[in-house]
Amino acid sequence: MASLIEVVNLTKDYGQGKGIFDVSLSVKKGEVFGFLGPNGAGKTTTIRHLMGFVRPDKGNCSISGMDCYKEAAKIQRSLGYLPGEIAFLDDMNGGQLLDFIAAMKGIKDKTRIQELMELFELNPSGKIKKMSKGMKQKIGIICAFMGEPEILILDEPTSGLDPLMQNRFINFILREKKKGKTIIISSHIFEEIERTCDRTAFIKRGKIVAVEDMNTLREKKHKAYVITFNSPEDISEFSKEGFNIIDTVDNQVTVAVKGDIQLFLKAITRYNIKDLDVKAQTLEEIFLHLYGGDK
């Protein structure tokens, strides 16, 4: 399938190692694409190039075959965008702002806006300058999705939302995905990337270090079993079984098991054990293992 969004050797050097360097990635039509990395890694800088806000030092990016910088106005007419730092007209109330944005987008039927307000439990009557970060974030999400755009670019979309709303947002993205929407989600929150994305680019110090298919990445996950043995002698005998022991503290042994666990379960039945606990490896732990934990 042809790529809808293309980024080729994109570079913006702000000096002292700040910026992005030879960033290349592509997003297919109907794909939810994650853009993952620590704060300051270059996610927002890349997104600003996609929005046409910044002229690259080198390289280029395009959406639907249009140059993001040269044809920014045309691209933005049919694009949903949620910035990482939202700046609103504070003297308006929420309803006035939504009406203002709808008028700018040429939206006359407010049904979609009402549906989104109900979904995210937004009361738009208060003054924006008195709203919490979470309330402002909900308004930003509604502004991005109100026109049913086919392409969306979301920079840290769940910032400021409580856990309930974060989960609701993730389920909402999965429903939008079924409609065939093409979505880029920039985040440093691993769970929302793991649950929503088809592929994910990991950026570190302004450079793409990996682009992973999420199904493939999930297959790399292992489970860690924490076994509490009765005696050090049992631990000594168990260590000869050939399993991947990743930690031993007192009478507790942590074993990493990947794939079929039948051999592991059969082995531990030969020992008197006090307790058995299981810990699933997170996506974050996989990334830190594969690409290093330092920022």
Averages of pLDDT over runs of 10 residues in the chain (295 residues) are 89 94 96 90 94 96 96 94 85 91 92 96 90 93 96 95 94 96 90 90 92 82 85 90 89 84 90 87 67 56
Contacts from 239-242 at CB under 8 Å and sequence distance 24+? 241/267
pTM, whole model, 2 decimals? 0.81
The CATH H-level superfamily of 3-214 is P-loop containing nucleotide triphosphate hydrolases (3.40.50.300)
pLDDT of residue 68: 97
Q: What is the pLDDT of residue 126?
A: 86
Q: Give me the sign of the Cα torsion angle 247, 292, 260, 263.
A: negative
199: nearest Cα among 217, 220, 177, 222: 217
Residues 6+ apart with CB under 8 A from 16: none
List the one residue out of 78, 116, 119, 113 whose CA is nearest residue 98: 113
List 6's β-bridge partners, or say none: 26, 62
Strand ranges (E), the chain: 3-15, 18-28, 32-36, 58-63, 66-67, 79-82, 151-155, 182-187, 199-204, 207-213, 223-229, 244-249, 252-257, 273-280
Amino acid letter, 181: K
- What's the farthest any 2 CA atoms get from each other in the chain? 75
184 touches 35 (CB < 8 A): yes
Residue 92: CB atoms within 10 Å: 16
Q: Provide the residue type at 252 as one letter.
A: Q
Per-residue pLDDT reduced to its tens digit, 198-236:
999 999 899 999 898 988 877 766 778 999 998 888 999
Give which of 58, 55, 2 is closest to 29, Cα–Cα: 2
Task: Yes or no: say if 196 and 32 are a contact pair by the CB < 8 Å rule.
Answer: yes
Residue 19: per-residue pLDDT: 95
> 67-97 pLDDT, tens per residue?
999 999 999 988 999 998 888 877 899 999 9
Q: Where in the chain is the domain with CATH 3.40.50.300?
A: 3-214
Residues of the chain within CATH 3.30.70.790 domain(s) are: 220-291
Residues 220-291, CATH architecture: 2-Layer Sandwich (3.30)
Contact 137, 85 (CB under 8 A): no
